[in-house]
Amino acid sequence: MKIPPFMFQTIIALSRRLPVYLLMPKKSRKESMKDLYYGYYKKYDKLLIKIKKNGFGNISCNDLKTIIPFLEKAGHHEELYNCLAAAIKDYPDNSFFFMYFAQYYHFNNNIAEAMKMAARSVELDPKNTQSAALLITLKYKKSSRKEADSFALDLLKKYPLNSKVLWSICYQCINREQYDRIVEIWQTALKTSSNPDRDYVQTVPTVVTAAARANLFKEGIDLSFKASLKYLRKEVVLTKFPKSLRNKYSDNAIRDICEVFETCRVPFFFAAGTALGFIREGKVLEHDADIDVGIMEKDWAADIIMDAFNRHPHFVLENPHPDNPKIGLVHCGGADIDIFRFYRESNSLYHNGGFVRWKNSIFNLKRHCFNGIEFYLPDPADKYLTENYGNWKLPDPQFDAFLYAPNTEVTNKEYLELNVARSLYKSLIYNKKTKTLRIVNDYKDFISRTPVGKELLRYLIS
């Protein structure tokens, strides 16, 4: 069943006031809904006060399972460690607590301890796929590429259709050999699945990521088109929600980003959608996918920046895309962060996004204050935002900076076409009808280039 936008907003509103999370079958959605409910009634704060006052002696296992994710996301570093230490002492056979201890050590860049905790978590509960996925991520940080690839493939065979595990290996893919092995395991599992079409459509975006990172664009396009076609034929009923900053402690992330840059003394500013949010609405846009940070070329010092964020307990560095020089981070609250290098050519400033780059007129920086924190935004704001978004004063949650920003210049046409196929899939799954129609009209010739694309187009225009 597709959920209309108005109904989605109603569900969010109800989830803040009623314990709707208890009715959610899917764990990830249950946690999101629980956060809304607990946040509205300040239940997390009450639990935290109770812990600080009485210690951990009178805290039940369920209360610990409730407060620990909050402590991690809200950045209560000391309380999180104490809570986890007490939890694994009192409940030494509970996989959940070892999983969060592994994540704690990961954010503290203690990879060896993180691996021990994640391995123990999987040992206690082989169905804990979040810990299995983390093990793969950690292995790539600790071991050689060859050793990590082999380890990841062996683990994937145990969880071949789990999105978290599949993502952790696909995100590390850099060549055809590894891609072919991933696809072989994935396709073998689909053949024995009780619902292969649903599992295909559910997991294909992750496999397409592997294709993109290995520069196998035709393969990724074909996979995306087939998934879209299965969905349109109604072979699959699937509801997904787009990635966003909603309920991801973005205000805390802004504070922590400023703190890190102040420590390493690298000048920075907030750019793109993050600048738009602060200028138009006075806050980070909830529907935005990530936080955008800019650094001028003269100030760019990748090693210093990465080292500074690596030392901060609220950030984890992501594996950079082979063709994209940006720095990627994940904040403990869940927000993704992209740090871009802004470089000058002639009388313009550019920053790159893998297969496109965005062009701006030379701009200055102006001090801005948010929640008592000071940072810089591009100035003059109206000119900068108009170049990026056109009519920036009118909110457009379906805006796509890669496909439709006025200042976009394509640097890799094959990669762009893969992104069109991915964006079409997402617009269908997320029920974004206006965006779907626009993609079809603008890229009709490209979509009809292959037999599966032609069939997909017939369904789209019928």
Confirm whether 11 is domain-assigned: no
pLDDT on residue 2 = 46
Please indicate, yes or no, whether residues 255 and 350 belong to a single structural domain of this protein.
yes
- DSSP-assigned states of every residue in 161-225: T-HHHHHHHHTT--SHHHHHHHHHHHHHHHHT-SSHHHHHHHHHHHHHHHHHHTT-HHHHHHHHH
pLDDT below 50 — which residues of the chain?
Answer: 1-3, 5-6, 8, 12, 16, 33, 36-37, 40-41
**In-domain check, residue 172:** no
Range of the domain at 434: 413-461
Contact 293, 268 (CB under 8 A): yes
Which residues are CB-neighbours of 111 under 8 A, at least 6 positions away?
105, 138, 141, 142
Residues 353 and 425 occupy one common structural domain: no
CB neighbours of residue 35 within 10 Å: 22
- Numbers of helices and strands, H then E, in the chain: 22, 10
Cα 154 to Cα 167: distance, rounded to the nearest angstrom? 15
Say whether both 321 and 421 belong to one domain: no
* Tokens standing for residue 430: 């997320």
Residue 6's pLDDT is what? 45
Which CATH number does the domain housing residue 256 bear? 3.30.460.40
Residue 322: per-residue pLDDT: 74
pTM (two decimals) = 0.89
Q: Choose one of 349, 368, 397: the last residue of a domain.
A: 397
Do 339 and 444 lie in one domain? The reply is: no
- Long-range CB contacts (< 8 A, 24+ apart) of 116-124? 121/95, 121/96, 122/95, 124/93, 124/94, 124/95, 124/98
Shared-domain flag, residues 333 and 258: yes
The DSSP secondary structure of 326-375, one letter per residue, reads -EEEEETTS-EEEEEEEEEETTEEEEE-SSEEEEEE--EEEEEEETTEEE
Coil/strand/helix, residue 461: helix
Distance from C-alpha of 292 to C-alpha of 274, rounded to nearest angstrom: 6
The answer to the question of residue 313 being in a domain is yes
Kindly give, in sequence order, each residue whose CB lies less than 8 Å from that of residue 280, ignoring residues fewer than 6 positions away. Answer: 385, 392, 393, 395
Phi, psi dihedrals of residue 367, rounded to the nearest 5°: -65, 140
Query: Do 382 and 264 belong to one domain?
Result: yes
- Distance CA(222)–CA(204), nearest Å, equals 11
Q: Give domain status of residue 348, yes or no.
A: yes
Total domains in the fold of the chain: 2
Backbone angles phi, psi at 293, to 5 degrees: -120, 140
- Residue where a domain terminates, one of 345, 373, 397: 397
Q: Are 20 and 14 in contact (CB under 8 A)?
A: yes
User: Per the domain annotation, does 331 fall within a domain?
Assistant: yes
Helix (H) or strand (E) holding 316: strand 315-317
For residues 439 and 345, state if they share a domain.
Answer: no
Q: Are residues 342 and 295 in the same domain?
A: yes
Residue 65: predicted pLDDT: 84
The structure tokens 């607990």 sit at 38
Question: Is 391 in the same domain as 417?
Answer: no
**In a domain? residue 312:** yes
The β-bridge partners of 437 are: none
Instruction: Using alpha carbons, list the distances in angstroms from residue 331 to 141, 171, 266, 348.
Output: 18, 18, 19, 31
**Last-in-domain residue among 373, 397, 421:** 397
